[in-house]
Structure 1
Amino acid sequence: MENTFNLDFDKFQPESMSEKSKSLQVYDQPHQFEPLLPTQDLGELGETTRRIFEKSSALKSAASPQARAALREIVRSMNSYYSNRIEGQSTHPVNIERALKEDFSDKPDVAKRQRVALAHIEAERELEGIVATEAGALSSGFLKHAHESLYSRLPESDRLTDDGRIIIPGALRTHDVAVGRHQPPTSASIPQFLKRMDDVYGRLKGVDAVIYTVAAAHHRMAWTHPFEDGNGRAVRLQTHCALHLISGGLWSANRGLARDRERYYETLDNADSARQGDLDGRGNLSEKMLWAWCHYFLDLCEDQVDFMASMLDLSKLKDRMRAYLLVRGATDGITEYREEALLPLHTVAAVGSVSRGEFIRMTGLEERTGRKVISRFLKDGLLKSDGHRAELSIGFPLASLSILFPNLYPEAAAAVLE
């Protein structure tokens, strides 16, 4: 079982190899966080990026449009869970599902975490709808919009920091802070740092540079620490949206970052390092460590798209659907879960929606029995329909994920202990 943590992104950076190479200092000029992009050994980063583009393109045509849409909703909920887990403030996936149905816990702390999770999901959906280009998503304006979109959905009581300050949605911080051993830029200089990032990341062109630019922006935005609190969540929302045109919402960097959070923080922390000699670029910060962060991030993205491709392999999905029908039928004693339903279920996942009559004919069952099967699947969320006469499309209920998409969202199958 994975380790869990209770540390806040906005306040924590782990000890690392960079400890001896940096000391607290005042940052108030943008040249102090150069370079904003790696400039050497870009061939390897470009090759990985091209593979991610190719694999993502194939993934976006896998399965039916309805199956991909259902999977996007799972990924969106999963993003919320994992981003908040990174902050040590997650709630169980079942509680997130309940929050989506406006069913909130009687326990104040759990209810607060449900509200934060729901705000993240709604903000992500809104932000995805306005992404036009990767460069646009990397702008400081988009980052401020992400922060505002998230925190404006929360009541003031959910926007209090540990020291009693109120988080104002989208507002830049107005005082100086320390984040572990890192001293972010002075509050008065934040606009200058954001402008410099806009100047550099706004020039993004060409395929090869896209993902390492997203990675570099992720670090430099977090390093700048522009907000009172919520920097980690806002930056990860920005990163998700910058990758959305590539991923189509079908794979998530958040999942990879959360599943090895110690390494995520360590690699981020290393990229804070001061320049280490004449062979380490020309900026104030280490280009080697920025390159290492970008390399780590690219490998993580490729791993995630590979994983999702294996989940949407239709022949393997068919086998997992058969297993799910057998398990629910045998273990839970639900007579409607029967192997005759495999063909139409796989059809709606692979090809698209079908009428109720077509579904029943594909089962080979009598109409009355077939209608009972459909009714049960609709109740359980394995099928979806806009009305009692509308066509049927595939659904992936939370309870099915451990079999249909093993290891995608394993926390969803854990017992609710909150």
Structure 2
Amino acid sequence: MLYDSVHQFEPLLPSDAAQSPLLSQAHDLARSALLLAGSAVPGELRCLLRSMTSYYSNRIEGQHTRPFEIEQALRRDFSANRELAARQRLAVAHIETEAVLESRYTGADGVRRLYSLDAVQDIHRELFNRLPTEDLNPDAGPVIAPGILRTREVSVGHHIAPAWQAVPTFLTRWAEVYGNTRRGEAALLALAAAHQRLGWIHPFVDGNGRVMRLHTHTLLAALGYTGGLWSPLRGFARSTDRYYALLAAADESRRGDLDGRGNLSQRALVDWIGYVLSVCQDQVAFMSGLLRLGDMERRIAACLAFEEQTLRSGVRMAALRPLHYLFVTDGALERGEFKQMTGLGERTAGSLLRALLQRGLLVSDTPQGRVRFGLPLHALRFCFPALWPEAEVDDGDTQQGGAEA
């Protein structure tokens, strides 16, 4: 079938009756997500979560990068292996793009602008303009033109995407419907459906999946639901087969007279939206549990005990009080203040502070500047167990032949 008319990708949203249970699910998600988004946490945690989201984005695409390799790439230490270096650069590009998009599209105005052809092209351009020419022109596969809509026909699995000349028309209709959805729970249904229908349009020759997921991630942030503390990409990556199966199912034609009134399956669209809402709720619940402040002091203590007793890294348990303070306040301390809070003598406290900086448990912008809570990969298994399991067995200590979890 040739898709060249916008009625061919209806329904863009399920009927009112079909939306009812989804709205109830979205209500629970919105309430718990807003509560989590208001949490005060160290900025270093948000930075680490960007790396984690980038890791999972690569994993969804089957372009695997190890957490330690992403950490190296952020220091501009790229592999000598050409293919691995390309994946590392893509991971860094995702991290940087995510930060830019979250600052560019904020609040109600950001949500409105995200539902536009310009925004879809902007996301694609922002991501792929960060890559060198050799990464955009691979030996196998199409040449990627950042921000440029496709000018040829494509198919994805069993789905034949709309005629390339009709792509702007489909995107205009996509933006009109989802951009005019009322706020609140209905907006969550809209962003889930928009994710699938954007993939159905397939605006670009390549990079559509990444654009779809960045669009959804940025929308959730603009709606105030994430606070930089969670992303559905982690959940998508941990259920990749289901993610792709439900995406493909929602591409299918209507399954008889009881399956809505549009050209495509309403039942499959409902299943897809329910899946997205469930993934988001799972991620919110998981992160809410990890951020229970009553547990943090115990977790930091476990990390310090391992450093002191097993690694003998120079880190001492005396750092617990100031480190916990920095975590719960998301603040910074003068170096003298930090040393005073340890209760140690000046010389011993100075050695401890240097060891904490060397191990990444403290970070500072300058050699003598204020210090903040740090969260290196090797501390994850203590501070945030199971947050990024792949990083727990791929941290700096393991790479250097140190102790393993």
Q: What secondary structure is seen at the aligned counterpart in 1 of 2:332?
A: coil
After TM superposition, the structure 1 = structure 2 runs for residues 83-232 of structure 1, keeping only pairs within 5 Å, are 83-132=57-106, 133-160=110-137, 163-232=140-209
Cα distance per residue 1:249-268 (max 9 Å; x no partner)? 11011000001100111111
- Of 13, 29, 32, which aligns to 1:37? 13
| Alpha-carbon distance in structure 1 between the residues aligned to 2:74 and 2:160 | 38
Aligned residues between the structures: 390
Instruction: Say whether residues 1:238 and 2:238 are aligned partners.
Output: no
Offset of residue 415 of structure 1: 4.2
8 Å contact kept, 2:362–2:373: yes
8 Å contact kept, 1:320–1:403: yes
Q: What secondary structure is seen at the aligned counterpart in 1 of 2:56?
A: helix
| Alpha-carbon distance in structure 1 between the residues aligned to 2:187 and 2:356 | 42
Instruction: Say whether residues 1:349 and 2:327 are aligned partners.
Output: yes
- Of 373, 383, 400, which aligns to 2:352? 373
Offset of residue 164 of structure 1: 4.7
| Alpha-carbon distance in structure 2 between the residues aligned to 1:236 and 1:53 | 19
**Please, what TM-score do these two structures have when normalized by structure 2?**
0.92
8 Å contact kept, 1:135–1:201: no
| Alpha-carbon distance in structure 2 between the residues aligned to 1:222 and 1:209 | 20
Q: What secondary structure is seen at the aligned counterpart in 1 of 2:173?
A: helix
Matched residue, 2:37: 60
Matched residue, 1:293: 272
| Alpha-carbon distance in structure 1 between the residues aligned to 2:97 and 2:38 | 26
Cα distance per residue 1:163-182 (max 9 Å; x no partner)? 45311001111111121111
| Alpha-carbon distance in structure 2 between the residues aligned to 1:268 and 1:253 | 15
| Alpha-carbon distance in structure 1 between the residues aligned to 2:173 and 2:138 | 29
Q: What secondary structure is seen at the aligned counterpart in 2 of 1:209?
A: helix
8 Å contact kept, 2:117–2:168: no
Offset of residue 294 of structure 1: 0.5
Q: What secondary structure is seen at the aligned counterpart in 1 of 2:2?
A: coil
Whichever residue aligns with residue 341 of structure 1, its letter is A
8 Å contact kept, 1:96–1:117: yes
| Alpha-carbon distance in structure 2 between the residues aligned to 1:173 and 1:134 | 25
8 Å contact kept, 1:138–1:214: no
| Alpha-carbon distance in structure 1 between the residues aligned to 2:104 and 2:129 | 17
* Structure 2 CA distance for partners of 1:290 and 1:346, relative to 1, 3 Å: same
Structure 1: runs of 5+ lacking an equivalent: 1-24
Instruction: Say whether residues 1:278 and 2:257 are aligned partners.
Output: yes
Offset of residue 238 of structure 1: 0.9
Whichever residue aligns with residue 288 of structure 1, its letter is R
Q: What secondary structure is seen at the aligned counterpart in 2 of 1:129?
A: helix
Which piece of structure 1 moves more, 395-404 or 218-227?
A: 395-404
Offset of residue 388 of structure 1: 4.5
Between the aligned residues of both structures, percent identity stands at 44
Q: What secondary structure is seen at the aligned counterpart in 2 of 1:384?
A: strand
| Alpha-carbon distance in structure 2 between the residues aligned to 1:176 and 1:196 | 20
Which piece of structure 1 moves more, 327-336 or 194-203?
A: 327-336
- Of 28, 47, 51, which aligns to 2:4? 28
| Alpha-carbon distance in structure 2 between the residues aligned to 1:175 and 1:203 | 30
8 Å contact kept, 1:176–1:187: yes
Offset of residue 348 of structure 1: 0.6
8 Å contact kept, 2:12–2:193: yes
Offset of residue 115 of structure 1: 1.0
Q: What secondary structure is seen at the aligned counterpart in 2 of 1:169?
A: coil
Whichever residue aligns with residue 9 of structure 2, its letter is F
Q: What secondary structure is seen at the aligned counterpart in 2 of 1:387?
A: coil
| Alpha-carbon distance in structure 1 between the residues aligned to 2:40 and 2:52 | 20
Structure 2: runs of 5+ lacking an equivalent: 400-405
8 Å contact kept, 1:156–1:166: no
